[in-house]
């Protein structure tokens, strides 16, 4: 009897001793290892989709569609709002309170694009592979471009810009790098190389929900314009075949009822990404729209009554007894009716025409062509308009139209910055009639160091090769 | 052989019983104690093999019916059982011998139990009797505060049912979790599971503090081990029923500062020229607003109601013993309109000697908890922020011009959104979250005695936790209308998880004594732990106003989610105990652990320890000494580990998502280090225990030194690579400390016993290494600073205490213009706080010392006990104060009364900065010393004399009144100084306890009345 118990005991002990080992190699259920993640062409397609998803959540999503306008004269801080982005509006940002999320999220796109490019030879050569390379490079180039324009100078901004501190150009997915800053000139060269490579490799059949040939050309027209390469900008714009959205379609573009004139947009469904692009501007409550930022009195008055954009971009309604001009661009969706979230328009045909007009007007003797490009936009926005400008008047008209057309899409700050201009707000208040509380800070003088936002303190702390911008 | 004997005895017994059946008679006698000859009342006298039994009376006398040949068994706690066969004589007087072994304090250590004498390691032990005298709590860990030296207990917050932060001998880890390992009846449980245990069921809590005792737990013992042992029945004891019941009221502890009232706030607004007060145009308007003055605490908070009822039955026969209990606990909490907590719990512990050589048993318990408290976040939905932010002239409900309540379409008053834009009362009433936890904890064991010297135990333990959370945002509620653009929609979220952990333990023990003095115990064990976790979440919207709230009703499904993860641990361990004549005791342990959490290259770890103790009083040369009743020296050294990190941290993985209406996306989910391994603890210490004058004065001194190396830390990487944080073995930290305990019976006689005891713990912590290699390319850069995402105001720096505050230094107010002044990194005065942070040496959230002082007085039936807890040397960042003294920035919110003391004229000193001078910046202006002393518990009890209880057929009855946190003295910190979690959802899972306060559930004080009855 005892013997059996002893045998039983010993075998029990042996059993448990031998069964332990293989049970220690456990893998997660909801994700896969790096070696499994990217092997087949469809894996790579998914990884490219991951780039778009990441662009919605981080670099583009809510922040890029609002803070470059908050910085400028397009908007007025509403004192009854939730006080979000107040330091941005008042140019009181510092290293502890800067666009850190935007920076890290943009570089997350770059890191992932690099990971795709490093492993791309796992799939056979051909059109599909080229199209994946093209999208990864375009995403990397666009992200570098945006980060640079926020934290460093833009080439046309000042004479010293190209040699000044740019941002680190990242071409490896190694997460343990501590890169130093490249110059602005080097960053722009890298951006243009990426976009030009993308242009030569991109598939002709890509839809508007991903980088496509028109999008690459359109973005190139913007980059060349920012880089002072006017002819290249005009050429790139000429290669874009998408036409400007029509007057009748225009309102529907902003509720995603149609995407006329949109070249590239990040699709935003409430079933998957569900990013509220409009929240930095306002929330809709029972008592009406509660704005964080309203349309500035100055900008509102620049919209003529015959301008379709006036009713599309602005809604005038009261909140707690006061009348405001709220930003209406991201208020509702005909697709995501519940959440109201809308697609993010990365580039539109109207901007491309305005890029072209500006580039041509910058080169003597091209006013006619420039005016023609400008009128392609104006003819679809006004019931009637007086045109025919030349010279400086034409240049002013182009800039005015650019401000009106691209308001609240993250352009105004860069359009002032790249031309070396000041940000100059009027002393009007936050109410629709210009009364109310005016901004505490009215002018950011041209050449001020605050046009280059501070590098986040976290980055300075962890990256010994990083240097801070002057003035912080 | 033994088997045969048993058969013979049984046959013989049967024979005897048959013979003697008719000869029943009355046996009487007196039972006395052998040591002093005094009578022993309450001794159980049982006729063996029958259910006949009596107890001796107050004078030790008994009378029982028994027959010649039957055996009387006398049993009494602390005495050896005595058996006498009834013969012709009708009087049997018994003198009972003291049972030395059972009288000595039995301490549960690791996989065995020891008497205090035999211990070689530092262990704090708390018994059920101690626990009865402590401030009652529904969670046993909270009751340990100040009770055990070297064990620092901080309530996470004041939420009913919340567990505590327990730190054994300092801060052992930074990111890998600092909580000790919890073992309940031999099985590992999660920290939260402790909340499922009814404190009434607990027999003892042992805290293992040094490597000698923790290394048997290997990879998990690095932060100390808390062993909770539940009650078991006593063999041969007739069933005892125990009924405990308690009812109490709780209330937020009083603030040690004053907020403005309506008149003051209006005045402040007028002075600063902003807000309602600035716009008052008539005296009537002013008087109307002043007339609305009220304290929002009265509108949002309440006196909580606490109830606790417990019933237990325990006892046993020769072969079997049992403990059975049921409990119900309820604590409404202090938020109006919300029932915060209730728990139903039950337990059955059984041991059954099925053979002389085999025993089986189980400990089975369940608990069901329902939590109704709101989410812990710092926003307009938090009532604990609203009580300070809402202005005293703002009303709870919307009033019309006449001051009457405005009613909605259904005739209900409308909550006033206040200046915050969202009425918190609506949150509490209309956005209702309930959480349910059902837990089953149990183990089954088989204990075999293979030979006289070898025992084998196999034990399977399981913990099953089912968690369910339901959140219903009522359609048409205030928040619903906000998130759905004014259309009543309503949404419901159901989420929850299933967590099953099992442990299979096999243990062989060999014990023998050679030559009377050489006692040897050898143990070998294997242990396999596996955990399976699954969670789900489902959300839908579109509900009918006033209709049902189950998801089926939802018009639109919104989101589903589910996760799954596993964890396993496999271990082999051995232990040697050698005891020479109870004078010299040596213990050695070795353990090898493999964990699934670590990288392929580093799954296994080896841990070892050795310890030695010398019982000086057992030496011959001490035999004639009258002074020392106990004198013992011990020393230990050893290693243990920590694996409390994410389950898959060592693996780089890619996760899945969706883009463009359901296209699959792949993106990085985690960046891991394949060499990620154990966090190692090396621990050594010495201790001296003493007892003087028959143990009337007793105490101990312990010194320890604990080095944690290969610290598991999240390293923040450059934003240019995406700003990821990667877990690695990155640093080293040393904790040193001294522990003192002293207790004395100042008066000890038959009528009066007065005991005073105190303990003091000194802590010293230093981070000694952070990254493996200094980068030679970056001369002059201090790479020892490690920034982790969990730090808000503090950093890790070599040479400093862990989580030393890293802040700009505030330098007061410029008397000339009223602007706040700061010191820049070089110590020059500046008016800009940006980027000037420096490490504030010696200022961290961790205390330099803490301890407690307690006293107990027993006089006839009365007992009075009081326990003071004190803590010195920690700093807290007071975020609420930065909102309440906001220099105008938060003028819309109510402010503290001392906000009036701002700079007004050039030359003003000792003032707050000039309002609206952009002065309210993060700096050590709001860093305050957290020193405090608190009357943690006070209890007055009365045990009814036996002459009363006897007439009521009760064994005993005690009534008591008990108070917690009745008095606090905190000279520096404005607010309640016991800060654990600052804000649950701001800090997430990795809280640095006490780093800052931010409107988490406040500490409460309570008074309760209780009755304990045994029958």
B485 Cβ contact list (under 8 Å, min separation 6) = A284, A340
What domain range includes position A204?
42-273+341-462
Residues of chain A with Cβ-Cβ distance to B723 below 8 Å are 100, 103-104, 107-108, 458
Nearest partner of B306 among B835, B963, B993, B829, judged by Cα:
B963
d(CA B924, nearest CA chain A) in Å = 16
Strands B752-769 and B732-748: antiparallel
pLDDT mean across residues, chain B: 85
Q: Is A283 on the interface with B (CB under 8 A)?
A: yes
Joined tokens for residue B962: 């008990």
The answer to whether residues B206 and B216 touch, using CB atoms and an 8 Å cutoff, is no
Q: What is the pLDDT of residue B646?
A: 80
Beta pairing partners, B639: B682
Is the pLDDT at B948 greater than 90? The verdict is no
Give the global pTM. Answer: 0.79
Condensed to tens digits (0 to 9), the pLDDT of residues B378-396 reads 888 899 999 999 999 999 9
Quick one: what percent of chain B has pLDDT higher than 70? 94
Nearest partner of B121 among B197, B48, B219, B221, judged by Cα:
B221
Residue A91 falls inside a structural domain: yes
Q: What is the pLDDT of residue B16?
A: 40
Q: Is A285 on the interface with B (CB under 8 A)?
A: yes
The answer to whether residues B373 and B363 touch, using CB atoms and an 8 Å cutoff, is no
Q: What is the pLDDT of residue B688?
A: 92
Tell me whether residues B657 and A168 touch, CB distance under 8 A: no
SS3 A310: helix
Q: What is the pLDDT of residue A68?
A: 95
CATH number corresponding to B2-101: 2.60.40.1120
Q: Is A176 on the interface with B (CB under 8 A)?
A: yes
Tell me whether residues A108 and B722 touch, CB distance under 8 A: yes
The answer to whether residues B689 and B629 touch, using CB atoms and an 8 Å cutoff, is no
DSSP label at residue A57: I
Q: Is A320 on the interface with B (CB under 8 A)?
A: no
Tell me whether residues A52 and B665 touch, CB distance under 8 A: yes
Helix ranges (DSSP H) in B807-924:
879-884
Handedness of CA B911, B912, B914, B919 (dihedral sign): positive
Residue A19 falls inside a structural domain: no
Beta carbons within 10 angstroms of residue B6's beta carbon: 12
Residues of chain A with Cβ-Cβ distance to B654 below 8 Å are 31-34, 36-38
Domain boundaries, chain B: 2-101
Q: How far apart are CA A127 and CA A129, in angstroms?
A: 5
Q: Give the pLDDT band (50/70/90) at residue B786.
A: low
Residue A286 falls inside a structural domain: no
DSSP label at residue B682: E
Most A-contacting residue of B489, B721, B795 (CB-CB within 10 A), to test interface: B721
Mean pLDDT of B840-846: 89
Strands B94-96 and B24-33: parallel
CATH number at residue A217: 1.25.40.390
d(CA A222, nearest CA chain B) in Å = 24
Condensed to tens digits (0 to 9), the pLDDT of residues B78-133 reads 677 788 888 888 888 888 876 654 445 666 676 777 777 777 777 788 888 787 77
Contacts of the segment B145-148: beta carbons below 8 A, 24+ positions apart:
B145/B852, B145/B869, B145/B936, B146/B759, B146/B850, B146/B851, B146/B852, B146/B854, B146/B867, B146/B868, B146/B869, B146/B936, B147/B852, B147/B867, B148/B124, B148/B207
Widest CA span in chain B: 110
Is the pLDDT at B594 greater than 70? The verdict is yes
SS3 A451: helix
Residues of chain B with Cβ-Cβ distance to A51 below 8 Å are 667
Is the pLDDT at B53 greater than 60? The verdict is yes
Tell me whether residues B671 and A175 touch, CB distance under 8 A: yes
d(CA B396, nearest CA chain A) in Å = 19
Chain A segment 361-400 residues within 8 A of B by beta carbon are none
Is the pLDDT at B6 greater than 50? The verdict is no
Q: What is the pLDDT of residue A62?
A: 64
Mean pLDDT of B934-946: 89
Least confident of A45-49, B677-681, B976-980: B677-681
Following DSSP, what letter does each residue of B296-354 receive, concatenated?
HHHHHB--EEEEEEEEEEEEE-SSEEEEEEEEEEEE--SBTT---EEEEEEEEEEEEEE
Residues of chain B with Cβ-Cβ distance to A17 below 8 Å are 526, 572
- Which H helix or E strand runs over A109? helix A100-119
Residues of chain A with Cβ-Cβ distance to B456 below 8 Å are 5, 9
The answer to whether residues B586 and B611 touch, using CB atoms and an 8 Å cutoff, is yes
Q: What is the pLDDT of residue B17?
A: 42
Residues of chain A with Cβ-Cβ distance to B448 below 8 Å are 5, 9
Q: What is the pLDDT of residue B773?
A: 44
Tell me whether residues A462 and B722 touch, CB distance under 8 A: no
A309 Cβ contact list (under 8 Å, min separation 6) = A250, A303, A381, A404, A405, A407
Q: What is the pLDDT along chain A (472 residues), one digit of tens a residue?
A: 566 666 666 666 666 655 555 577 888 888 888 778 889 999 999 999 999 999 998 778 768 889 999 999 999 999 888 888 888 999 989 887 899 989 999 999 999 999 999 999 999 999 999 999 999 999 999 999 999 999 999 999 999 999 999 999 999 999 889 999 999 999 999 999 999 999 999 999 999 999 999 999 999 999 999 999 999 999 999 999 999 999 999 999 999 999 999 999 999 988 888 888 888 899 887 778 999 999 999 999 999 999 999 999 999 999 888 999 999 999 888 888 877 889 999 999 999 999 999 999 999 999 999 999 999 999 999 988 888 999 999 999 999 999 999 999 999 999 999 999 999 999 999 999 999 989 989 999 999 999 999 999 888 878 889 999 998 8
Nearest partner of B175 among B651, B798, B649, judged by Cα:
B649
B95 Cβ contact list (under 8 Å, min separation 6) = B31, B32, B33, B34, B37
Residues of chain A with Cβ-Cβ distance to B660 below 8 Å are 49, 52, 209, 267, 269, 272
Tell me whether residues A464 and B663 touch, CB distance under 8 A: no
Strands B71-75 and B44-47: antiparallel
Joined tokens for residue A194: 């990426």
- Which H helix or E strand runs over A223? helix A213-226
Mean pLDDT of B530-547: 92
Q: How many residues does chain A have?
A: 472
Q: What is the ipTM of this complex?
A: 0.93
Q: Give the pLDDT band (50/70/90) at residue B7.
A: very low
Condensed to tens digits (0 to 9), the pLDDT of residues B285-327 reads 999 999 999 999 999 999 999 999 999 999 988 889 999 999 9
- From A50, A174, A272, residue closest to B666, measured CB to CB: A50
Tell me whether residues A23 and B835 touch, CB distance under 8 A: no
Q: How far apart are CA B78 and CA B99, in angstroms?
A: 5
Q: What is the pLDDT of residue A243?
A: 95
Mean pLDDT of B763-792: 61
The backbone region for B169, taken as left when phi is positive above 0, alpha when psi lies in -120 to 50, beta otherwise, is: left
Joined tokens for residue A442: 């009215």
Joined tokens for residue B36: 């002093």
The answer to whether residues B963 and B937 touch, using CB atoms and an 8 Å cutoff, is yes
Terminal CA-CA length for chain B: 43
The answer to whether residues B215 and B601 touch, using CB atoms and an 8 Å cutoff, is no
Residue A35 falls inside a structural domain: no
Q: How far apart are CA A389 and CA A297, in angstroms?
A: 26
The answer to whether residues B240 and B48 touch, using CB atoms and an 8 Å cutoff, is no
Q: What is the pLDDT of residue B446?
A: 92
The answer to whether residues B40 and B96 touch, using CB atoms and an 8 Å cutoff, is yes
Q: How far apart are CA B587 and CA B870, in angstroms?
A: 35
Helix ranges (DSSP H) in B488-532:
none
Q: Give the pLDDT band (50/70/90) at residue B913.
A: very high
Tell me whether residues B666 and A272 touch, CB distance under 8 A: no
Q: What is the pLDDT of residue B179?
A: 84
Number of structural domains (chain A) is: 1
């Amino acid at each position: 009897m005892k013997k059996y118990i002893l045998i039983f005991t010993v075998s029990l002990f042996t059993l448990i001793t031998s069964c332990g080992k293989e049970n220690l190699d456990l893998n997660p259920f909801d994700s896969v290892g790096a070696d499994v993640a990217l092997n087949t062409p469809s894996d790579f397609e998914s990884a490219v989709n991951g780039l778009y998803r990441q662009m919605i959540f981080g670099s583009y999503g809510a922040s890029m569609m609002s803070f470059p306008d908050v910085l400028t004269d397009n908007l007025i801080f509403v004192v009854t709002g939730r006080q979000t982005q107040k330091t941005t509006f008042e140019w009181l940002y510092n290293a502890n309170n800067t666009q850190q999320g935007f920076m890290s999220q943009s570089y997350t796109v770059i890191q992932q694009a690099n990971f795709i490019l490093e492993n791309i030879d796992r799939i056979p050569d051909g059109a599909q592979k080229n199209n994946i390379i093209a999208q990864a490079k375009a995403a990397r180039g666009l992200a570098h471009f945006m980060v640079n324009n926020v934290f460093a100078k833009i080439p046309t901004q000042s004479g010293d810009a190209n040699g000044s501190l740019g941002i680190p150009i990242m071409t490896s997915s190694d997460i343990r790098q501590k890169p130093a800053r490249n110059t602005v000139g080097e960053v722009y060269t890298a951006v243009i190389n990426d976009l030009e490579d993308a242009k030569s490799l991109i598939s002709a059949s890509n839809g508007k929900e991903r980088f496509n040939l028109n999008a690459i050309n359109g973005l190139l027209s913007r980059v060349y314009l920012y880089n002072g390469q006017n002819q290249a900008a005009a050429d790139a714009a000429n290669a874009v075949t998408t036409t400007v959205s029509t007057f009748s379609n225009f309102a529907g573009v902003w509720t995603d009822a149609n995407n006329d004139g949109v070249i590239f947009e990040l699709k935003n469904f409430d079933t998957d990404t569900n990013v509220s692009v409009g929240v930095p501007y306002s929330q809709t409550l029972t008592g009406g729209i509660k704005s964080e930022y309203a349309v500035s009195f100055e900008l509102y008055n620049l919209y003529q009554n015959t301008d379709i954009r006036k009713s599309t971009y602005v809604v005038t309604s009261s909140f707690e007894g006061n009348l405001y001009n709220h930003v209406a661009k991201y208020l509702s969706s005909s697709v995501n009716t519940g959440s109201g979230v809308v697609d993010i328009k990365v580039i539109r045909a109207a901007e491309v025409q305005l890029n072209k007009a500006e580039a041509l007007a910058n080169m003597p003797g091209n006013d006619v062509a420039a005016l023609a490009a400008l009128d392609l936009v104006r003819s679809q926005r006004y019931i009637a308009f007086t045109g025919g400008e030349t010279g400086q008047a034409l240049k002013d008209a182009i800039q005015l139209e650019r401000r009106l057309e691209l308001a609240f899409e993250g352009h105004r700050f860069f359009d002032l910055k790249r031309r070396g201009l000041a940000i100059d707000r009027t002393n009007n208040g936050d109410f629709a009639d210009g009364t109310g509380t005016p901004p505490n800070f009215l002018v950011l003088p041209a050449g001020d160091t605050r046009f280059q936002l501070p590098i986040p303190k976290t980055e300075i702390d962890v990256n010994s090769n990083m240097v801070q911008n002057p003035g912080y | 052989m033994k088997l045969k004997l048993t058969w013979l005895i049984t046959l013989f017994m049967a024979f005897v019983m048959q013979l003697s059946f008719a000869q029943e008679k009355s046996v009487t006698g007196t039972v006395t104690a052998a040591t002093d000859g005094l009578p022993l009342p309450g001794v159980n006298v049982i006729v063996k093999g029958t259910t006949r039994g009596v107890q001796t009376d107050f004078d030790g006398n008994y009378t029982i019916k028994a027959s010649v040949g039957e055996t009387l068994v006398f049993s009494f706690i602390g005495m050896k059982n005595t058996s006498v066969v009834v013969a012709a004589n009708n009087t049997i007087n018994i003198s009972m011998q003291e049972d030395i072994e059972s009288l000595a304090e039995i301490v549960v250590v690791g996989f065995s139990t020891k008497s205090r004498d035999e211990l070689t390691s530092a262990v704090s032990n708390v018994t059920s009797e101690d626990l009865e005298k402590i401030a009652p709590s529904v969670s046993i860990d909270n009751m340990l505060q100040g009770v055990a030296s070297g064990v620092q207990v901080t309530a996470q917050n004041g939420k009913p049912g919340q567990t505590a932060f327990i730190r054994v001998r300092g801060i052992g880890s930074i990111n890998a979790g600092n909580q000790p390992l919890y073992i309940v009846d031999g099985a590992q449980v999660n920290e939260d599971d402790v909340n499922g245990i009814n404190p009434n069921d607990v027999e003892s809590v042992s805290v293992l503090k040094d490597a000698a005792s923790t290394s048997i737990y290997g990879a998990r013992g690095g932060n100390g081990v808390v062993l909770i042992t539940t009650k078991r029945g006593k063999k041969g004891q007739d069933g005892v029923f125990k009924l405990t019941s308690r009812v109490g009221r709780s209330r937020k502890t009083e603030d040690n500062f004053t907020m403005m009232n309506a008149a003051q706030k209006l005045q402040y607004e007028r002075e600063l020229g902003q807000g309602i007060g600035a716009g008052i145009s008539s005296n009537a308007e002013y008087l109307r607003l002043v007339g609305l003055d009220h304290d929002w605490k009265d509108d949002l908070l309440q006196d909580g109601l606490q109830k606790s009822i417990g019933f237990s039955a325990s006892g046993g026969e020769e072969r079997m013993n049992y403990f059975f209990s049921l409990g119900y606990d309820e604590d409404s909490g202090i938020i109006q309109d919300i029932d915060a907590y209730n728990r139903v719990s039950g337990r059955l512990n059984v041991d059954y000697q099925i053979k002389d050589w085999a025993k089986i048993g189980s400990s089975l318990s369940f608990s069901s908890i329902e939590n109704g408290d709101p989410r812990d976040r710092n926003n307009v939905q938090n009532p604990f922020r609203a009580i300070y932010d809402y202005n005293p002239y703002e009303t709870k409900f919307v009033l019309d011009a006449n001051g009457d309540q405005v009613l909605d379409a259904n005739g209900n008053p409308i909550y006033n959104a206040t200046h915050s834009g969202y009425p918190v009362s609506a949150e509490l009433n209309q956005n209702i979250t309930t959480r349910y936890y059902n837990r089953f904890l149990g183990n089954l064991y088989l204990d075999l005695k293979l030979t006289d010297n070898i025992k084998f135990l196999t034990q399977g333990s399981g913990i099953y936790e089912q968690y369910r959370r339901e959140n219903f945002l009522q359609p048409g509620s205030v928040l619903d209308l906000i998130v759905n653009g004014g259309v009543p929609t309503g949404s419901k979220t159901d989420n929850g998880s299933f967590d099953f952990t099992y442990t299979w333990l096999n243990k062989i023990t060999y014990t023998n004594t050679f030559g009377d003095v050489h006692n040897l115990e050898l143990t070998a064990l294997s242990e396999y732990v596996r955990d399976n976790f699954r969670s789900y979440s489902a959300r839908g919207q579109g509900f009918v106003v006033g209709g049902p709230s189950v998801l089926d009703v939802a018009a639109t499904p919104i989101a589903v989610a589910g996760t799954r993860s596993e964890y396993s641990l496999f271990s082999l361990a051995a232990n040697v105990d050698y005891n020479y004549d109870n004078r010299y005791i040596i213990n050695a342990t070795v353990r090898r652990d493999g964990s699934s959490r670590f990288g392929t290259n580093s799954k296994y770890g080896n841990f070892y320890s050795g310890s030695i103790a010398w019982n000086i009083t057992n030496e011959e040369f001490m035999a004639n000494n009258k002074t020392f009743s106990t004198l013992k020296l011990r020393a230990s050294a050893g290693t243990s580990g920590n694996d409390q990190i994410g389950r898959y941290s060592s693996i780089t993985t890619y996760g899945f998502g969706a883009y463009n209406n359901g296209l699959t996306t792949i993106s990085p989910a985690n960046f891991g280090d394949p060499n990620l391994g154990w966090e190692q603890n090396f621990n050594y210490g010495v201790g001296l225990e003493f007892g003087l004058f028959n143990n009337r004065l007793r105490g101990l001194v312990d010194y320890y030194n604990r080095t944690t190396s290969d610290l598991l830390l999240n390293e923040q990487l450059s934003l240019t690579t995406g700003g990821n944080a990667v877990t690695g073995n990155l640093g080293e930290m040393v904790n040193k400390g001294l522990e003192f305990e002293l207790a004395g019976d100042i008066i000890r006689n038959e009528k009066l016993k007065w005991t005073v005891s105190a303990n003091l713990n000194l802590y010293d912590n230093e981070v000694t290494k952070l990254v493996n290699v200094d980068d030679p390319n970056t001369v002059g850069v201090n790479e020892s600073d490690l920034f982790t995402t969990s730090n808000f105001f503090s950093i890790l720096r070599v040479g400093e205490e862990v989580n030393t505050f890293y802040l700009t230094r505030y330098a007061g107010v410029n008397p000339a213009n009223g602007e706040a002044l700061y010191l820049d990194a070089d110590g020059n005065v500046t008016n800009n706080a940006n980027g000037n942070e420096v490490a504030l040496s010696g200022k961290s959230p961790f205390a330099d010392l803490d301890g407690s002082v307690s006293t107990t007085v027993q006089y006839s039936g009365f007992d009075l006990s009081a326990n003071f807890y004190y803590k010195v040397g920690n700093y807290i960042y007071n975020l609420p104060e930065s909102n309440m003294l906001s220099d105008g920035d938060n003028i819309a919110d109510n402010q503290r009364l001392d906000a009036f003391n701002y700079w007004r004229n050039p030359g003003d000193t000792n003032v707050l900065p000039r309002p609206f001078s952009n002065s309210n910046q993060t700096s050590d202006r709001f860093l305050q010393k957290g020193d405090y002393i608190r009357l943690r518990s006070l209890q007055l009890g009365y045990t009814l004399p036996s002459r009363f209880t006897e007439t009521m057929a009760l064994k005993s009855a005690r009534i008591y009144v008990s108070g917690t946190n009745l008095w606090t003295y905190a000279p520096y910190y404005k607010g309640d100084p016991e800060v654990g979690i600052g804000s649950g959802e701001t800090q997430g899972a990795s809280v640095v306890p006490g780093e800052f306060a931010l409107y988490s559930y406040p500490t409460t004080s309570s008074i309760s009345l209780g009755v304990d009855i045994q029958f």
